[in-house]
Amino acid sequence: MASRVSFRTGLVVLAAAALASLAFTPSNSQPAPDFGEPLAGLDAEELERFEEGLDEFSEVETPEQGLGPVFNDVSCGTCHLVPSVGGGSEILETRFGRTGDDGLFDSMPEFGGGLIQKNGIGIADLCEYLAEIVPGEATILADRRTTPLFGLGLVDATPDSTFYALATAQKFHPDGIKGVVSVVPRIATGRNAVGKFGWKAQVPSLFQFSGDAYLNEMGVTNPEFPDENCPGGDCDSLSCNPLPGMNDDGSGVDGFHDFMTFLAPPPRGPITASALAGDLIFRGIGCAGCHQPTLRTGPNPVAALHKVSYSPFSDFLLHDMGALGDGITQNKATGTRMRTAPLWGLRKITRFLHDGRATTYEQAILAHDGQGKKARDRFAALPGWKKNLLYAFLGSL
């Protein structure tokens, strides 16, 4: 009982001190941008690019503009909308594959590759483009939840060396978390770079992320992704494509890129005494080993991105998550490896984990496996009152 009282007393003292410091915040300080707003400190030209990018991001595409022939949705904004434009959603995509005769993952390109496009543009000339279906030969299926885009310009502006340093430090972590840097091709340079974006950290830059999404989510070809997806693997059917050739000259991709680059990170919710206490528990049980609280950008021509500290609660590394893996291989991210999900903005997310299976913080934490198992087990052993403090912290992100 004495140790419990002592622990609680320490939490109260820490919380009181932190709250007191918050009370002396200068009255002329500006509130953090809200969800969906641009970064603070942008100049007039950068704000204009953000607004133009927002328009591009929200625009509804049509087959006459290059939509399809198969696609997932007609606009970026229809999937990224919670709690505002640029956010995530409960919308799930489906990836599939199988284990080949050589024991390696096979994305089954002859059936349209590993991503299902759930819509088609319908009849065009002599062809009818329908939604793709998972082939019966597939043995691996994985749902992927739409993720928020808030603050990704800060992540993009973080030097690759930061992630290598994190991976090196984790080799000595007592929990054996040992994150792996995702190394993927960067189309713009023709060289490998650190992957930071996507559930498998399969994309190295926001610009490439934009072009990839334009093609694979809306079927709009663009300079870095000039080749249409073959509907269901039937490349001959592209002979009926109503708009062959390059659908976007790069201006659309530039707009998406500008919008995401200048999109502010999620604002922090109310930081109560319980939330501060929960932060200590979060760190104490080992969650912060992978969910890195603070990172820092490098030199950047955009002042709002130049050497800025930010709090994504992620290391953006790949971790072997055991049973929590999705079975899909993308580059160095094998079936059990997943990128650490950022926790900022968590309070606005209603379904958790890559496939949205969890609806509570407890379910999400208990689903951790592999390199997250030790932290999970420490969480499971917590008394209820400490779990509630942890939930208060998570609810403030």
pLDDT at 30: 74
123 has which bridge partners? 128
Which residues are CB-neighbours of 165 under 8 A, at least 6 positions away?
A: none
Residue 344 has pLDDT above 90, yes or no: yes
> Where are any strands of DSSP class E within the chain?
70-71, 92-99, 105-106, 119-120, 122-124, 127-129, 140-145, 183-186, 191-194, 295-296, 309-310, 318-320, 337-339
Task: Look up residue 266 and give its DSSP letter.
Answer: P
Is residue 175 within 8 A of residue 371, CB to CB? The reply is yes
Please report whether residue 305 resides in a domain. Answer: yes
pLDDT tens digits along 94-128 = 999 999 999 999 999 999 989 999 999 999 999 99
Please report whether residue 278 resides in a domain. Answer: yes
Extract the tokens encoding 87: 């956010």
pLDDT tens digits along 160-213 = 999 999 999 999 999 999 999 999 999 999 999 999 999 999 999 999 999 999
Is residue 113 within 8 A of residue 61, CB to CB? The reply is no
Is residue 240 within 8 A of residue 126, CB to CB? The reply is yes
Please report whether residue 186 resides in a domain. Answer: yes
Number of domains in the chain: 1
Please report whether residue 187 resides in a domain. Answer: yes
Range of the domain at 247: 2-21+32-394
HSE of 305 in the Cβ direction (CA atoms, 13 Å)? 23
Best CA proximity match to 344, nearest among 159, 152, 180: 152
Please report whether residue 339 resides in a domain. Answer: yes
Task: Look up residue 346 and give its DSSP letter.
Answer: G
pLDDT tens digits along 355-380 = 999 999 999 999 999 999 999 999 99
Q: Is 246 exposed, middle or buried (0-12, 13-18, 19+ CB in 10 A)?
A: middle
What is the C-alpha to C-alpha distance for residues 242 and 391, in angstroms, rounded to an integer? 51
pLDDT tens digits along 228-268 = 999 999 999 999 999 999 999 999 999 999 999 999 999 99
Please report whether residue 27 resides in a domain. Answer: no
Classify the phi-psi angles of 233: left when phi > 0, otherwise alpha if psi is within -120 to 50, otherwise beta: left
Please report whether residue 26 resides in a domain. Answer: no
Mean pLDDT across the chain: 93
